[in-house]
Amino acid sequence: MQKNGIIDFTLIYNRFKKPLFNYISKVMKSDILAEDLAQNVFMKLYDNLDRIRNSATIEVWIFRTARNEIFGHFRKKKNLVEETFEIHEEKILTSNLLEDYEHKELIDFIEAELNCMDRGNSEIYYLKEYSGLSYKEIAKIMEITQDIVRSRLFNVRKKLKDAIIKSGRS
């Protein structure tokens, strides 16, 4: 790779490392696995950067590759339950102990609800809410239409809202 290629890779890496990690981490439920899979994605990007002709498609390429890495990981594992352990816990400040506890409890509740939903729907939610991708970008990554993305995201949010109201956490 030439000097310009290394600079291009570094710029791309710095731009996408956080949203990619957030997406993988939420789907995998493990920061350690997310780091490994994100590293695999960036290694593949580094190896294939010269082959990606359109720079506008790099984001789609990165998230589609991440999605393939995640599916590949799950295919290798027979028991998905062992992958649900959280590695890092949030630090709770003593000054806001009750508020922080309630916030963490709500996040855990939302995560549990997402785990009960169809994987494709929860994946759209993660891509939108934790990676900040647009409907168009999510549609390209998942190879569906923007209308389907909007519809599924609307349904997921409605189910989450209804579940929160029903549980009395609102």
Mean pLDDT, range 112-125, rounded to an integer:
87
Q: Over 60: is that where the pLDDT of 15 sits? A: yes
pLDDT at residue number 82: 41
Tell me, yes or no, whether 1 and 69 share the same domain. yes
Residue carrying the six token digits 């009960």? 116
The arithmetic mean of pLDDT across residues 97-126, rounded, is 80
Higher pLDDT, 95 or 41: 41
Cα separation of 40 and 159, whole Å?
34
Same domain, residue pair 99 and 170: yes
CB atoms within 10 A of CB 38: 23
**31 and 109 inside one domain:** no
Helix axis angle for 3-28 and 58-76, nearest 10°, is 50
> Where residue 169 sits, what CATH number does that domain have?
1.10.10.10
Of the residues 88, 108, 139, which one is the last residue of a structural domain?
88
pTM (2 decimals)? 0.57
Quick one: average pLDDT of 26-45? 91
Secondary structure (DSSP) of 74-91: HHH-S-GGGGG--S-PPP
Which of these three, 64, 88, 112, is where a domain ends? 88
Instruction: Look at residue 87 and tell me whether its pLDDT is greater than 90.
Output: no
Alpha helices in the chain (DSSP H): 3-28, 31-48, 58-76, 97-116, 119-129, 135-142, 146-167
Question: Domain range for residue 164?
Answer: 89-170
